[in-house]
């Protein structure tokens, strides 16, 4: 069956389209994109009236935790996929800190098998840099790529050993896949619960200094000239780190970075009242850091927006702040929080869509994030002006750990499509 999406405002940064276009889908692929009214109604075609909606390539989140295998009580590939679809995401990359760790072919194949059986979106595994995420011995990175991994990361545990990271970057060049680093010097953050500063002092909590992130980013960038590897800095949170990435890019080094919505919308003040939903790693920083992150988004230093969707059960969060797990669910709030940056004139709407669609796919050199002719019909429709109040109890995710409860926001996903099939439709 053919599907005709009519009357929408189409934004496709990859093809430099931004205006009123109609879009024709045939056999799950984009058949035509033409100015509004140029595609005539086709007998038997399914007509989708997109008047008042923004039509974009499906969003892509390159940093999520779906907890399967091993911690299915927090999230599964199935529930995580439902949450992603509700947030407008058609493709996600799942991190390897599962149990067992995704450091070998069998775990990668299990994830892909589960995705095929239970998911309605594109699931892309990230393989571990080191065996067991212990930072001691490299995983078989070639085997992981053959099994279907699209990148490497030890995720919440940084690769502290410089020699190991050097070799990982060398292999990343060989396999043409990025090494994704959680930038943190553990010796500086051990026992910490939040950003080190005036708020942590007032709350009597051990802090995690920005220097812990900056030092690791500097070290990894310093390894790039000799290795020729591809470095991606995950969930950047420090203004100093943003500046380091900016300088590295000016030198032509192969470094990219991502920012999570909570790091451009919240500061450490959110931890007041000991709200464990505001406990995350890297921690929420200062207003100054937030301003520098916004500048990095504005000038292109920060390449993509990724949620670091990290679901936790109530048991993991309803404890003392120092004992609570780090993490926040983010798939279903990413759009309105990103649009907040648009409404504040930090970035344009087209730039926001680029950071959610084409750029993350570019990171992994995937043939997605575009509405080009012949491409998969992975599409998101949303109303940028629709106002509502965030209510975590309504999330599709199995976990509800979000500090945004009660926030009044603009931007609602109306429909999400994968290969031309509607997998989510707003009530």
Question: What is the signed CA dihedral for 252, 236, 127, 179, rounded to 10 degrees?
Answer: 20
Consecutive H or E run containing 291 = helix 287-299
- DSSP assignment letter at 14: G
Catalytic (active site) residue 61 = no
Q: For residue 328, count other CB atoms closer than 10 A to its CB.
A: 26
Q: If you write DSSP's letter for every residue of 106-151 in order, what string do you get?
A: HHHHHHHHHHHHH-SSEEEEPBPSBGGG-SSSB--HHHHHHHT---
Place of tokens 């947030």: 87
In whole angstroms, give the CA distance from residue 233 to residue 304: 11
> H/E element holding 333?
none
Structure token digits, residue 206: 């051990």
Asked if the bond preceding 282 is cis, omega within 30° of 0, the reply is yes
Angstrom CA distances, 46 to 10, 88, 375, stand at 18, 21, 19
Q: Burial-class residue 161 by CB neighbours within 10 Å (0-12, 13-18, 19+).
A: middle
Residue that is written with structure tokens 């058949």 in the block: 31
Q: Which two tokens stand for residue 180?
A: 């994704």
- Report the 10 Å Cβ neighbour count for 394: 10
Name the residue among 376, 283, 292, 373 with its Cα closest to residue 322.
283
Distance CA 340, CA 344 (A): 6
Q: Which two tokens stand for residue 295?
A: 């500048």
- How far is 65 from 395, CA to CA, in rounded Å? 16
How many residues belong to the chain? Answer: 427
Catalytic annotation, pick one of 12, 103, 303, 308: 308
- Bridge partners of 232? 180, 256
**SS3 call for 311:** coil
Tally of CA atoms within 13 A in the half-sphere of 275 that contains its CB: 19
Q: Which residues belong to the active site?
A: 308
């Amino acid at each position: 069956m053919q599907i005709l999406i009519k009357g929408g405002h189409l934004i496709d940064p990859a093809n430099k389209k931004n205006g009123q276009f109609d879009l024709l889908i045939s056999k799950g692929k984009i058949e035509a994109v033409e100015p509004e009214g140029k595609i005539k109604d086709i007998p038997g075609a399914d007509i989708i009236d997109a008047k008042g909606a923004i039509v974009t390539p499906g969003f892509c989140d390159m940093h999520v935790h779906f907890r399967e295998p091993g911690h299915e009580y927090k999230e599964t590939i199935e529930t995580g996929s439902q949450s992603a679809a509700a947030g407008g995401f058609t493709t996600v990359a799942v991190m390897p800190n599962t149990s067992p760790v995704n450091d070998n072919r069998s775990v990668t194949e299990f994830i892909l098998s589960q995705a095929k059986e239970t998911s309605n979106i594109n699931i892309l595994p990230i393989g571990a840099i080191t065996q067991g995420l212990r930072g001691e011995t490299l995983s078989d990175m070639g085997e992981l790529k053959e099994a279907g991994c699209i990148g490497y990361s030890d995720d919440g545990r940084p690769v502290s050993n410089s020699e190991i990271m050097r070799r990982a970057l060398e292999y990343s060049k060989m396999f043409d896949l990025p090494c994704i680093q959680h930038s943190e010097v553990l010796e500086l953050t051990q026992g910490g619960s939040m950003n080190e500063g005036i708020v942590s002092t007032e709350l009597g909590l051990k802090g995690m200094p920005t220097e812990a992130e900056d030092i690791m980013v500097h070290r990894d960038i310093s390894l790039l000239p000799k290795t020729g590897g591809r470095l991606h800095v995950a969930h950047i949170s420090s203004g100093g780190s943003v500046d380091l990435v900016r300088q590295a890019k000016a030198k032509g080094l192969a470094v990219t970075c991502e920012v999570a919505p909570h790091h451009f919308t919240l500061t450490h003040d959110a931890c007041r009242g000991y709200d464990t939903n505001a406990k995350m790693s890297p921690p929420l920083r200062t207003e100054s850091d937030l301003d520098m992150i916004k500048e990095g988004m504005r000038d292109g230093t920060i390449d993509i927006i990724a949620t670091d969707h990290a679901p936790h059960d109530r048991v993991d969060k309803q404890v003392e702040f120092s004992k609570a797990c780090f993490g926040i669910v983010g798939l279903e709030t990413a759009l309105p929080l990103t649009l907040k940056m648009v409404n504040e004139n930090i970035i344009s709407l087209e730039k926001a869509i680029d950071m959610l669609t084409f750029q993350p796919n570019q990171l992994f050199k995937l043939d997605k994030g575009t509405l080009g002719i012949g491409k998969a019909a992975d599409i998101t429709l949303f109303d940028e002006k629709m106002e509502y109040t965030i209510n975590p109890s309504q999330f599709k995710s199995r976990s509800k750990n979000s500090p945004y409860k009660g926030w009044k926001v603009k931007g609602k996903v109306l429909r999400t499509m994968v290969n031309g099939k509607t997998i989510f439709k707003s009530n």
